[in-house]
Amino acid sequence: MSPVLDTASIPPRDREEVVRHAVWESVVAVDIDHRPPAEDLSVRIGLGTVGPLRICSARATAVTIRRTERLAREDEEPAVFLGLQVSGTSLVAQNGRECVLGPGEFAVYESIAPYTLLFDEGVDHHFLRFPRAALALPDRLLRETSSTTLGPDNPLARLAFTYFSELAASDELHRAGVHADAVVEPSVELLRAVLTSQHGNTGLAKGPLEATLSLRITRYIRAHLADPDLSAARIAAAHGISVRHLYAVLSAAGISLGDWIRTHRLAECRRELAGPNGRRRTIAATGRRWGFVNPTHFSKVFKQAYGLSPRAWRDQNHPPPPLGVTAPQAAGADPVTPVRAGPRVSRTR
């Protein structure tokens, strides 16, 4: 994977913040404690996506990464991470357990619980993020298999390490299209098989599709949140079920369809307004982009959800430019040089 971030081209004083912002925006919110001083800090990160899977390949100087209890509580999309050790060693700690990874070994850990990753020798690692819902595994199984070394002594884990390493390194698959879509389900099923076999319950890997229907429905909705024609009829048709059965499945999972869609659309609006391009689009346009066609209604439900208006949230993350400075200038665009009129010439007869 080609690096999209290389601190070699970044001034030392900015490196820690640039790395933190890239990781928070693209992977997960964590505290990052770099061991060397800023001038010796070196990080190269490549990022990619394969359907709903996010991939981060990193090489860096020594670092400690912590997912604190506060950050874990704020998780809007629970995820399971797969960490593959390429060279050197690292330590993973979660749920009162810790494991040391060597080359060819990997471990899983969850975003909804605190964890610590120690890279005392530097980082040479692939991180793959799976939506927790996509795995459709019991909470207990995930807790009991986190922070466990999975390696060559397990034939299935050995196969998985090779497969996921290739997936992480393949730029061709990190694009939308038939090839990327085709590997999502096999990737999910392979990780399910590794974890269930490690837990000693391979029967879970063969669970009927009906058992995971609500999880597949919510994953589909999340992938189509921005579609203006997203409806119960469309969602049901995409899964080969009736609208009535759709509501029954979601109700059994404790999900109200309208509330679920609105909550996740609001979360996307909140993320965009606070992101680096928060002022590139008007607040009303951001709302429309995620299905809120009425700006007044958008502002009302946003404030109900987060305690402040969309404008206040954006201004909190991106203070408005000083008077006399245009938005493009504040965003870093080249200022427009005004064209001055030439001197007025009086004509005499």
* Inter-helix orientation angle 178-199/155-169, to 10°: 150
Helix (H, G, I), strand (E, B) or coil at 47: strand
Encode pLDDT of 106-151 as tens digits.
Answer: 999 999 999 999 999 999 999 999 988 778 788 888 888 899 999 8
Encode pLDDT of 41-63 as tens digits.
Answer: 999 999 988 888 899 999 999 99
pLDDT of residue 210: 58
Yes or no: say if 235 and 219 are a contact pair by the CB < 8 Å rule.
no
HSE, CB side, 13 Å, CA atoms: give it for residue 215: 20
Q: How far apart are CA 31 and CA 38, in angstroms?
A: 16
Q: Tell me: pLDDT of 191 over 60.
A: yes
Average pLDDT over residues 79-103: 95
pLDDT of residue 331: 45
pLDDT category at 339 given cuts 50, 70, 90 is very low
| In the chain, % of residues over pLDDT 90 | 50
Q: How far apart are CA 179 and CA 193, in angstroms?
A: 22
Nearest to 31 by CA among 43, 45, 41, 16: 16
Q: How far apart are CA 310 and CA 314, in angstroms?
A: 6
Helix (H, G, I), strand (E, B) or coil at 324: coil
